[in-house]
Amino acid sequence: MKKVERINIIMRYINNRAHFTISEIMQEFNISRSTAIRDIREIEAMGMPLVAEVGRDGGYFVMNNSVLPTVRFTDNEIKALFIAFMATRNQQLPYLKSRQSLTEKLLGLISKNQQDDLVLLNEVLLFEGTNPHNPDLLDLSDLPHPMLEKLIQLLLMDNYLLISVQEEKKIHSYPIYLLHLYREKSMWLIDGFNLEEEKRQTIPVDNLIDVQSYAVKNRAAKKKMLERINKHEEAFNLVLELGPKAIAQFKKYHPLKLTISYTSPFQTTAILKTFIQVHRSEELSEITNWLLFLGGDIKIRQIPEELLASLEDRLNLYRS
Q: Determine whether domain 147-231 maps to CATH 2.30.30.
A: yes
The pLDDT score that the predictor gives to residue 58 is 65
Distance CA 132, CA 147 (A): 29
* CATH number for region 3-62: 1.10.10.10
| DSSP code of residue 97 | G
CB 155 within 8 A of CB 161: yes
Domain 238-319 architecture: 2-Layer Sandwich (3.30)
Q: What is the pLDDT along the chain (320 residues), one digit of tens a residue?
A: 788 888 888 888 887 777 888 888 898 888 998 999 899 889 888 878 788 776 555 688 777 655 555 667 788 888 998 888 888 776 778 887 777 677 777 777 788 888 888 888 888 888 776 666 666 655 555 677 888 999 999 999 989 999 999 877 789 999 999 999 988 877 889 999 998 888 888 888 989 999 999 988 777 777 888 887 777 666 788 999 999 999 999 999 888 778 899 999 889 999 999 888 888 787 888 899 999 999 999 999 999 999 999 999 988 887 76
What are the residue ranges spanned by the domains of the chain? 3-62, 75-140, 147-231, 238-319
The pLDDT score that the predictor gives to residue 178 is 93
Distance CA 273, CA 192 (A): 20
Rounded to the nearest 10 degrees, the angle between the axes of helix 3-15 and helix 22-29 is 130
Nearest residue to 141 (alpha-carbon basis) of 98, 91, 77 = 91
First to last CA, the chain: 60
Nearest residue to 311 (alpha-carbon basis) of 294, 281, 289, 283 = 289
- 3-state secondary structure at position 13: helix
The pLDDT score that the predictor gives to residue 100 is 67
> Buried b / exposed e across 244-279, counting CB within 10 Å, b at 16+?
eebbebbeeebeeeeebeeeeeeeebbebbbebebe
Distance CA 298, CA 244 (A): 9
Distance CA 37, CA 43 (A): 10
CB 263 within 8 A of CB 270: yes
Burial status of residue 41 (CB atoms within 10 A of its CB: 0-12, 13-18, 19 or more): exposed
